[in-house]
Amino acid sequence: MKRRPLVLTGALAGLAPLRPAWSQPRPRQRAAVVIGVDKAGDLPKLRAAASGAREVETLLKAEGYDVAALVDDDTPVTVDRIFAAIDGFIRKGTIEQLVVYFAGHGLAAEYVEYWLLSDATRNPNQSVSLRESVQLARLYSGIPNVVFISDACRSTPRSLGLSAIRGGIIFPTSGSVQPSDVDQFLATLVGDPSFEAAITDSTRNYAGIYTTTLLSAFAEAPTDIVSKVGGVDVVPNKRLKRFLEREVPLRAQRINIQLNQRPDAQVTSDDDIYIAKAAKTTMAASTGTATGLRHIAAANLGDVGLRGIVQVGPRKDTELAAYRQATRDLDTKTGFSKAQSEVAGQMNELEAFARRLPSAFTTGFLVSGQPIDSAFLILDGPPRPFERIGDQAVAVNVPRGRAASALIQFADGSSTLVAALHGFAGNIAVARNGVINVSYVPRHGGYDARRLVELHASVATAARFGVFRIEREEGGGRNAGARLADTVRMMKDVDPTLGLYAAYAYSEAGQQRGVASVRGIMRGDLGFDLFDTAMLSGALAKKEATLRTCAPFCPMLAQGWALLRVNNVELPKEIEALRDHLRPALWTTLEPQGTRLLLDALRSGRLRV
């Protein structure tokens, strides 16, 4: 399917006459790298990526940005060209804001986004790993505010034939030690693979709606997103986020009532940070009742005491009835509440399983969704089989305080790797694409079971749908992170997966102290590290932790595989090779061939962990 050409009307048709208003000199030095790729290898050609990039280039130049435009209407776009442009701006040492814009084909693998460049289908390295680039921009760019804007679909790797995607990095891997605020504006949500766009849908539907809406926010800005900064009307990034969440779905449905495009954003910068001024303001503060998964997640997390973890814009009393109805409709369409109820049911089954697990065993696993084919404990030598308890459960003895891994293989030949924890029972929920939830409960009891079920169900479902994160509250507050830390401390000896979710949320928000705090809490309770927290905290890179002191010996959450490089973690080649055999699931799920390769390496002694 082809992307429709855009015809700019209304507010955008007036872009040229408004340039003088945007051309006023600014005291700050700002730069931008604008990327547009209509043709990515042999994928269907897009019609609005390059043109959208040129429109953004026009806006930013008029705003006074130093713009490097890399658009394939001129020459092929490569990782090296993008890196050189960004590195050149960083080396100046005077840039206070850097905008990186991309329009083109994209995909989401292991809950991590990649931008596909001109030669991406032939060379999997000719793509951009967005998550890694964001982290490097935050850690080493030295630029106070970096903004990533992605007008790209998030197709599945299989729909594009790109299962071996790795992606290049477009920011230097060393530099300033002063962390940067990084804001991200993404055209669509990423989450459960069933919500990712297939290539045929993405080329038909994502016809520059996002970029068009973005530009309109500055051309004719509703008064509710405008703020005065230095006496000038601007659209702060925090308010731009609200505008896009509201307008993109509405405009998409005006084109096609069945078109469901819901953008994503994460803003960590202060309230006065903005991309561009408001050329004109309008009293049209709202044009509908669009809502999103983030609103549903925010409400559910608020109900379990995690208010403000997911930030959403305020609602007026006059909008509440329509808002509630829109939320219910979206909830029904996406199955968010259904998924949450399923997790709660699995947690209740797990608690019953933990109580009836024979006292001769210290550790057990219950699997939902598929029968167990086999299960192995990996600790000090060749893998040892678990004892079977029917078709859905296994048990084993794990020494207290030892970092042990469990390889659980399902009836279809796929498998997962999780931590085997002394004194805990675990549940592994398997769906069509792989493992969608992992949870633990202690066998000792003595905790608030209802509280745990509600908390885990809310957090796990928000993570599965890609909307669990920590964001700075408008007005400068940072209380959301504190509330999450308090919850992790309170539940630290009840369900370790809450610590994993928290560590990833802190990492994505650039709050490394939060990651280190979670690692310390979990390590102090378990007596060893969970791999993911050791990786995200930097403990593995600093050799404060090793594979033998971590459980399991690879990431439990699948997105962790795409973060190994940027966290300076090197794995044995036998483990690194497993990344080519991952299924697109939230938790690490190996395809049957990957399972066979791992078991062969362990049994032969080539791999010792």
Q: CB count, 10 Å around CB of 12?
A: 17
Q: Is residue 388 located within the same domain as residue 448?
A: yes
The verdict on 320 and 414 lying in the same domain is no
Please report the pLDDT score of residue 475 as a whole number.
53
Residues 113 and 34 in one domain: yes
Do 351 and 330 fall within a single domain? no
Does any domain span residue 1? no
What pLDDT score does 373 carry?
Answer: 97
What is d(CA 478, CA 171) in angstroms, rounded to the nearest whole number?
27
CA angle, 488 then 567 then 67, to 5°: 110
In a domain, 3, yes or no: no
Kindly state whether residues 470 and 534 are assigned to the same domain: yes
Quick check: is 14 in a domain?
A: no
Give domain status of residue 284, yes or no. no
Q: How far apart are CA 109 and CA 101, in angstroms?
A: 20
The gap between the terminal CA atoms of the chain, to the nearest Å, is: 48
pLDDT tens, position by position, 501-546: 999 988 988 888 889 999 999 999 899 999 999 999 999 999 999 9
Domain identity same for 413 and 552 = yes
List the domain range (segments joined by +) for residue 312.
300-334
Separation CA 372–CA 78 (nearest Å): 45
Q: Domain ends where: 272, 290, 316?
A: 272
Same domain, 246 and 345: no
pLDDT per residue as tens digits for the range 172-230: 988 877 889 999 999 887 754 434 444 455 555 455 889 999 999 999 999 999 999 99
pLDDT along the chain (609 residues), means of 10: 36 39 58 96 88 96 97 93 97 96 88 90 90 93 96 71 78 87 89 46 62 94 93 95 87 68 86 95 63 72 72 52 62 81 94 93 97 96 94 96 97 97 96 93 85 90 82 56 70 83 88 90 93 97 95 96 94 94 92 96 93
The predicted structure's pLDDT at residue 334: 73
250 and 345 in a single domain? The answer is no
At residue 15, the pLDDT reads 39
Q: Is the dihedral of CA 208, 202, 113, 472 positive or negative?
A: positive
Let me know if residue 505 belongs to a domain. Answer: yes
pLDDT of residue 596: 97
326 in the same domain as 188: no
Return the sign of the alpha-carbon dihedral for residues 329, 318, 239, 21: positive
Give the span between the Cα atoms of 49 and 36, in whole angstroms: 5
Q: Mean pLDDT for the chain?
A: 85
CATH number of the domain where residue 254 is located: 3.40.50.1460
Indicate if 480 and 518 belong to the same structural domain: yes
Q: What is the pLDDT of residue 598?
A: 97
In whole angstroms, give the CA distance from residue 383 to residue 214: 54
- Let me know whether 531 and 414 are in one domain: yes
319-328: list long-range contacts, CB under 8 Å, 24+ apart: 319/286, 319/289, 322/289, 323/289, 323/291, 323/295, 325/289, 326/289, 326/290, 326/291, 327/291, 327/295, 327/296, 327/299
Number of domains in the chain: 3
Q: Is residue 2 part of a domain?
A: no
Beta strands in 432-552 (DSSP E): 434-442, 529-530, 550-551
309, 334, 359: which is the final residue of a domain? Answer: 334
Same domain, yes or no: 204 and 56: yes
Write down the pLDDT at residue 443: 87
For residue 226, what pLDDT is reported?
95
DSSP class of 557? B
User: Is 294 a member of any domain?
Assistant: no
Residue 587: beta bridge partners? 557
The residue from 313, 334, 355 where one domain ends is 334
